[in-house]
Structure 1
């Protein structure tokens, strides 16, 4: 009887997880591709921006010193 009480919370937990996973709306392949492209483009943009900023600050420091 004690074993049944220990299993019950686990069973209800996993049933709850499965229930919530069924309610989840997953992105389509097209949405994943779109979002991934946006992330990559944004990262590349900031990479170039901060690289240029770093070069500019480096040149400015060279001029000052």
Structure 2
């Protein structure tokens, strides 16, 4: 039990040390990244929507 408790403390200590090394984005970067992600989601959603309409039209033509 004592060993696992030390391992747990060591894990959180090392995790905290790694988090201190992370370069977090500032507000402007975060806004830009968010807009890129949202734009990508919209493009992919439209792509699959058009693809779905196309496949539905082909299936309707076959049936």
Same structural fold, with TM-score higher than 0.5 when normalized by the shorter chain = yes
Q: Which runs of 5+ in 1 are unaligned?
A: none
Deviation at 1:31, TM superposition (A): 0.9
Which residue number in structure 1 is paired with residue 54 of structure 2? 56
Asked if 1:44 corresponds to 2:42, the answer is yes
Q: Which has the larger radius of gyration?
A: 1
TM-score by length of 1: 0.71
Paired with 2:47 and 2:14, the residues of 1 have a C-alpha distance of: 46
Unmatched 5+ stretches in structure 2:
none
Residues 16-27 of structure 1: pairs in structure 2 closer than 5 A: 16-27=14-25
- Deviation readout 1:19-57 (Å, 9 max, x if unpaired): 322222111111111111001000001111101110111
Distance 1:24 1:59, change over 3 A: same
